[in-house]
Structure 1
Amino acid sequence: MMENLDAILSFLPMRLKKARRAKGLSLDAVAKLSGVSRSMVSQIERGESSPTISTLWNLTKALQVDFAGLLEDDQESRVEILRSNDVPTIENHG
């Protein structure tokens, strides 16, 4: 998990909005499912409000997404491309 709170707060709104849109849910629907007000959901998605752990937990349950996954460093940034010449060959002698 990323240690930098500023970094988490910079990508968290985008990830929540992306998860909501992927589920095809409106702000109103997420508000009803999570118990978080529509205006608060909107403020969080715009990065205007930092959610409490409880609010974030309720949103992740409503969106059916992994709580810890929202806070982790972006997996795409860890992808390393290896050329076939750089990878050792494992031969089966059995």
Structure 2
Amino acid sequence: MNGTGESVRDLLAANLRRARAERGLSLSELSRRSMIGKATLSQLEAGAGNPTIETVFSLSRALELPITDLLDHRQPAGMTVVRADEVEVLSGEAVDLRPLRRIETEDAIFEVYDQQVRPGGRQSSLGHVGVEHTIVQAGRLRVEVDGGSAELGPGDCVAFDAVLPHAYTAVEGPVRSVLLLQYRPGNRLDLDSGHSGAE
């Protein structure tokens, strides 16, 4: 996604340090908000950690930032081509994400990901800022959102407020899908709403 040869680890390190400094947060306070150990945060900021989907989403929630603010830097104008073999995969318990593009307008910020859900696992989230859209391209996907569930096949789409607890499970697969995260400029999660916690 970054097109400069920098790794996810390097970009996260630089962006995490910047975001924490801009907010005047100590490592201890960010650790409390994200529920990530202080030693792990220190490693991430030094570029020595091994970030997972769960870690990045927890930091996104704690810092109230779109994920791409942590994993990318601004794209140049003109045509952008993203090659599958040039994008570093961010993996979680059951999902592999390849960040493809960040799109900004006056009214919204969008992040586009190639998302693969591996069979035999369940990817859970306690919630994060934004609206989540998933379009299934291959396989069958069960999506659970705040106690409800739906099963999706190729061509089906689901959208929901991502602050709600949610989970993905490959019912038949692996599942190949497009994940689109949508944020309003200045989108913030109300950390007092009861939806805070680790991914």
Q: Please indicate, yes or no, whether the TM-score normalized by the shorter chain is above 0.5.
A: yes
| Distance (whole Å) between structure 1 residues aligned to residue 37 and residue 54 of structure 2 | 13
Higher helix proportion (structure 1 or 2): 1
Partner of 2:31: 31
State the AA in 2 paired with 1:49: G
Distance 1:59 1:5 in 2: 23
Q: Which residue number corresponds to residue 139 of structure 2?
A: none
Other-structure match for 1:78: 76
Higher relative contact order (CA 8 A, sep 6+): 1
Q: Which has the larger radius of gyration?
A: 1
Counterpart CA distance in 2 for 1:28 and 1:51 is 18
1:41 aligns with 2:27: no
Aligned residue for 1:14? 14
With normalisation by structure 1, the TM-score equals: 0.70
Deviating beyond 6 angstroms after TM superposition, the runs of 4 or more aligned structure 1 residues are none
Task: Structure 1: give runs of 5+ residues left out of the alignment.
Answer: 81-94
Q: In 2, Cα distance between the equivalents of 1:8 and 1:52?
A: 10
Aligned residues: CA RMSD? 2.4
Q: Which residue type is aligned with residue 56 of structure 1?
A: V
Residues 43-58 of structure 1 mapped to structure 2, 5 A cutoff = 43-58=43-58
**Counterpart-to-counterpart distance in 2, 1:52 and 1:23:** 23
More strand per residue = 2
